[in-house]
Chain A
Amino acid sequence: MIGLSHFLIVSAALFSLGIMAVFARKNAVNVLMGVELILNSANLNLVAFSRFSAHNLDGQIFVIFIIVVAAAEAAVGLAIILSMYRIIKSVNLDRADTLKG
């Protein structure tokens, strides 16, 4: 029988993978994908808690809002990455190095 802890383990794994992707990847689009993983791990947590421990719908409603905000964030993120590509012809984060000190 699949219980709460199974969901929590999967979501913790997703969260860790997201954090790893964010710090290890050099490609800006990959980093954004890592961020999506972090947000989706939170979504999974919320749905699982709402089903198994809280017994109310607050968590599931929360998830819908997170999905909407994540989409908005991805749209802005991709637009910024696109304009970075227009300027320096690259989406490699190592090339974003003009600001230092």
Chain B
Amino acid sequence: MNPQILWDLKKLYPELILTAAILCVVVGDLAFPKIRKQVTFLIATLGLLSAFAASIFLFAEPQGSTFFGVLAVDPMAAFFKCFLILTSFLILLAAPKSQEFSRSHMGEFYALLLAATLGMMLLASSIDMLMLYISLEMVSIASYIMVGYLKNDRQSNEASLKYLLFGTIATGTMLYGFTIIYGLTGTTKVAVFRNILTASPAAGQNTLILLVATVFVLAGFGFKTAAVPFHFWCPDVYTGAPTPVTAFLSVGPKAAGFAILIRFFFTGFSNVAGVDHWTTLSFVSWQHLVVVISIITMTLGNIAALRQDNIKRMLAYSSIAHAGYILMGIVVLTVQGLQSVLVYLITYLFMNLGAFLIVIEIYNRTGSFDLKDYRGLYRRSPFLTIAMSVFMLSLMGIPPFAGFFGKLYVFGAAVNRDLAWFAVVGALNSVVAVYYYARVIKTMIIEANEDTSRICIPWSSHLMIWFLLLPTVGMMLFWGLIQQLAVTSTKLFPG
């Protein structure tokens, strides 16, 4: 065997551990029919925890690539691996609590969740278009099944059908874009085609065709991040999917989509211009494209969220709007912009998963996602009301909660790059967003409900909500730490 491959395997421990865990979950599900629920849960938990531990060691690895330039090893990849594993871990803990899954068989769900996580981790570090496509499909196919996991539920099935159709079209289009790039440069490696495009003067003549390829590729990434005009699936899928899956989709694949967007466009279509910023290739102005997408995404997301009465649908549009803010950090093309993306994602993880966790708890008692059924919640469960209010205030971007610092960082990065107007657009959007988040708080605290029976939640749910609540409230106390993490993690392997 080639010794290089053996050496490379060392940098792949998190993925290997997860692969082993997936297989063990599938086998354990069949081997222990009496205690399958506990066994599969335990294996999945252990797998994710040990993969997390292995990912932390990747921060110390020198920058480079493995498997003949297919996967990058750099702090950015390590950051996203830790981030994605943490997300999946929280979903893993939350999923069995949901009543929606009460009659489902959970073993396969855990296996699918781990498979999607594995796909996202590979996606976040792939620097070859082939690897990128395969890992993207790995995330997508696992997510299609997870969305339709409630086989006999009409909405879940419909959501999964819509997700599948939009997803295959988006990735097919992306693939067509890849073939054009391959045709122009003769390579599938992201950094290599950057060098060829920069070096050859002939490439400059193909501006139009490269622009078409860029738009096609953006379709695939835009689909994963739920950016307008590739967001159509998002509200329907978020509403129809089981809530833990919705929570997963709103954080995990979205973050992986941003990771690959950064990696593909920063190493593929940009040149390093200085210690702290990049420039786009002169003939592919993807920056302008993404600026437009970002503005439309946040505006449309916020305005459409205003008139939603279903809490899951409202959070879907809110997640579209947040994708717009995060794109803002990418298009400024600076190290500070990248840091702001990472900081924003960290804050978003806690506040968004927290909100979904409470939606799950309330559904377990009321059986409804309608905002009407949140009336008078303050009398029924003060703890849930206060926790939900904190998450809503944080999503709004009100200091001193975590969301404020995420927004501050993103807008700051835009202002530092002389894009103050862009930051103003973002700030105006946040003002619009206040309305629909505040509406949830108003419904819970001010409006009255005839049903005043108390809602009690199990201690394990209490613990999880606290786990998400404390960072949302107290993130500013650890600000130095988060900043340090973001600064370390922005190092991208240039190829």
Contact = CB atoms under 8 A, between A and B. Distances in A.
Interface of A: 15, 18-19, 22, 28, 31-32, 35, 38-39, 41-42, 45-46, 48-49, 53-56, 58-59, 61-62, 65-66, 69, 72-73, 76-77, 80-81, 83-84, 87-88, 93, 96, 98-101
A76 B169 contact: no
Contact of A96 (B162, B173, B235): B162
A41 to B, nearest CB: 6
A80 B168 contact: no
Nearest to A97: B158
B160 A80 contact: yes
B435 interface: no
The 4 closest A-B pairs by CB, nearest first: A54-B186, A38-B172, A45-B179, A49-B183
Given A42-B175, A80-B148, A99 B141 contact: no
Contacts of B7: none
Contact of A77 (B152, B168, B182): B168
A42 B172 CA distance: 8
Nearest to A74: B168
A54 B158 contact: no
Contacts of A69: 133-134, 137
B159 interface: yes
B162 A59 contact: no
Contact of A62 (B160, B182, B239): B182
Interface in B179-214: 179-180, 182-183, 185-188
Contacts of A62: 129-130, 133, 182, 188
Contact of B175 (A19, A39, A80, A83): A39
A65 B164 contact: no
A80 B141 CA distance: 11
A58 B182 CA distance: 9
A76 B162 contact: no
B105 interface: no
A93 B179 CA distance: 30
Contact size range, B = 35 or more
Contacts of A54: 182-183, 185-187
Interface of B: 129-130, 133-134, 137, 141, 144-145, 148, 151-152, 154-155, 157-162, 164-165, 168-169, 172-173, 175-176, 178-180, 182-183, 185-188, 235-236, 239-240, 308, 310, 313
Contact of B157 (A42, A73, A77, A87): A87
A100 B316 CA distance: 13
B133 A66 contact: yes
Given A65-B133, A99-B239, A28 B161 contact: yes
A76 B157 CA distance: 12
Contacts, number: 125
A32 B186 CA distance: 30
Contacts of A66: 133, 175
B179 A88 contact: no
A39 B168 CA distance: 9
8 contacts: A35-B165, A39-B175, A42-B179, A58-B186, A58-B187, A59-B188, A62-B129, A101-B308
B139 to A, nearest CB: 12
B161 A96 contact: yes
B169 A38 contact: yes
B347 to A, nearest CB: 28
A83 B155 contact: no
Contacts of B169: 19, 22, 35, 38
A15 B162 contact: no
Contacts of A101: 235, 239, 308, 310, 313
A61 B189 CA distance: 14
A40 to B, nearest CB: 10
Contacts of B313: 101
A76 B160 CA distance: 10
B1 to A, nearest CB: 20
Contacts of B137: 69, 72-73
A18 to B, nearest CB: 7
B162 to A, nearest CB: 7
A39 B172 contact: yes
Among A18, A87, A101: residue with most chain B CB under 10 A:
A101
Nearest to A8: B183
A19 B154 CA distance: 27
B176 A99 contact: no
Among B134, B159, B175: residue with most chain A CB under 10 A:
B175
Nearest to A49: B183
A35 B158 contact: no
A83 B147 CA distance: 13
A87 B152 contact: yes
B152 A22 contact: no
A78 to B, nearest CB: 10
Contacts of B179: 42, 45-46, 49, 59
B159 A99 contact: yes
